Each structure stands twice: as structure tokens, then as C-alpha cells.
Amino acid sequence: MPISVSDARSNSNEQVAHAVKVLGKSPQRLIVFKAIYRGKKHTKFVNEIAQTTGLDRKQVLTAALVLADNGIVKQIRLAGQTGYQKDRFYSRRKNEILRYVRNPRAFSKLPTKTQPKVDKQGNIKIRFAQNRVLAHNITIDDIDSFDKVVGMRVEPGAYVPMPEQRFKKGIKKIMGEVGDFQDWGGERNDLFTTRLRVLSRRMPTAFAFKGKGTTGILTPKKMGKNGDQIQRLFKSAASVFVVQYWGQIHESVVEQMIEFARAKSAIEGSAIYYGVIDGDDSSRLIKAYPSAFKTQRQ
């Protein structure tokens, strides 16, 4: 007998989606599910289900076995008879599950960890248990590896875009990172390093750089061909996630980073740090570490 290890409080949408997928693949499973969960009786036996549904015993046993194997019902043996008991979670969510089975379009909008909800602005929303979240926003001033920027001042908005590769090389020099990172269309990040020090310790970090080829205020839709660069960034095996851009970064970018940071923290059960380096902070970095960003000609 399979042992349930699911957590209904933290994975409720996943469990609903699981049931919908199992039931939607077979009309007989759906009929048996309805029969078992109909009314207040906690346990239904094979003969009883066959009588109320019009299915024969073999059809009931075959369909119910799949439901039991998937944790949707519990199979028992009592007085020589095979019976099936309701699961408390699925009992509460029965109507919702049946509604999604009948309406695949509505089901496609159900947000889960593997299928986050995207609004009209391209922002992604993910639901999870709040008590499992350890997601923290950091600024450039919180990064120990960039400690020279503390107290550094620049004229707001007076920045000059630098080629992405040149800026990335400067960041690598500051951290002492010598690894080679080649860009390609499907990469998760532009730079991955374990040498960045944050809050007095080294942490695996994933950077996303937007060079001077991007113009205007940075929004999620400008990040990646499909507007999914932030989502791909958070698939990196990192604890710190940073987006850098040569201009103003729209709050929707930060909002999306918050969603993914909180989701990653909830799923992995670990602290996640996220932040942005906008045009002004990029200029502060260059001013604080001029030698790191110089070209050979300079």
C-alpha cells in the first residue's frame, strides 16, 4: 500500500492538479470517484459502487485501483470485501476537482509550482506556504565583495551604457572569478559564481546582465526572447540572484524576482537572496573599481 507523503497545506494546488489529471484520462475513473465521494458514507464497497454506477466489478476494481495507487482513495479489505475510503483532502476539494475536469480551460489557469500563474503584464504569481519562506532582498551595499561602493556617490541618471561582456568581465575581476562563461540562447544565467561574498560568507550566485542593446525602462518582457529570463535565472543552483541593467529597472522586475525567490525558498527550504543593480549602482561599481572595468586601450 502506497504511503502518502504529501503536505496538503503547502501543496494543495498540486494535489488538486494531480487528481484532475488522473480522473481526466478515464471516464470510468471519474464515475468511480464520484460514487466513492458521493454522500456522507466514508467507505464504499465494490458491489455497492457497481450497483450505483452500472459498471461491472472488473471495471470498478480496475478504475479504483488507479485511484488508490495515486493516493486519491484508500483501499481496504473488510469481512472479505474490497472497499474504498475517502481522503479528507479530496473530500473537501471534490467539487473544485470535478469543475476542473469539466473545464480544461479553467484548469490550465490553476497556478502550481510547475505551472506558475502569469498575469497580463507578464508577471508570475506563485502560491505557497508562508511559514516556509526565507526570501530576502539585498542591495549592492549588502554585498561584501563590492564593499568599496559603500559611501560612493554618483549623479543620478548620469550613466553611460557599457557592453555586457565588458561589464561582466569587470564583475569577475572584482570577485576573483577566473571561470569561462559563454553566452548562448538558452542559458539560465550570464554568470554563475561561488566567489561572491554576501553577509560575510560566500554564496553561490547567478547574475543576469542586460547590456546596452536593451533600451528604455527594463521590464520582464524585455528579458529573454520569451520574457522568461528571470524564470530561467531562478532555475540556477544558487542562493543569490542578481539582475543588472544600464538604466531604470521597473518594479515589475523586482516583483517577479520576489515571487521566484519565495517559491524557490519554499520548495528548497533554504534562504534565498535577490536584488537588482540599476544604472546608478552600475556607475557606483565602476567608480569604486575603475581598474576592473578598464579595457586594454585604457
Tens digit of pLDDT for each residue in 185-197?
557 899 999 999 9
Give the integer Cα–Cα distance in Å for 189 and 183: 9
The ranges of the chain with pLDDT < 70 are 1-11, 112-132, 180-186, 295-298
Q: Specify the pTM.
A: 0.57
pLDDT at 113: 59
Tens digit of pLDDT for each residue in 155-172?
998 887 888 899 999 999
pLDDT at 179: 73
pLDDT at 178: 84
DSSP for 157-219?
A: T------HHHHHHHHHHHHT--------TT-S-SEEES--EETTEE--EEEEEE-TTS-SSB-
Q: How far is CA 60 from CA 29, 57, 83, in A?
A: 8, 5, 11
pLDDT at 48: 93
**Contact of 76 with 86, CB cutoff 8 Å:** no
Query: Which residue ranges make up each domain of the chain?
Result: 8-107, 117-293
What CATH architecture is 8-107? Orthogonal Bundle (1.10)
pLDDT at 2: 41
- Beta-carbon contacts of 106 under 8 Å, excluding residues fewer than 6 positions away, are 99, 100
Give the integer Cα–Cα distance in Å for 230 and 208: 8
Residue with cell 549592492: 140
Across 79-102, b (16+ Cβ under 10 Å) vs e yields eeebbbbbbebbeebbebbbebbe
pLDDT at 10: 46
pLDDT at 37: 95
**Contact of 103 with 63, CB cutoff 8 Å:** no
Give the integer Cα–Cα distance in Å for 3 and 137: 38
**Contact of 158 with 206, CB cutoff 8 Å:** no
Give the integer Cα–Cα distance in Å for 71 and 3: 8
**Contact of 163 with 212, CB cutoff 8 Å:** yes
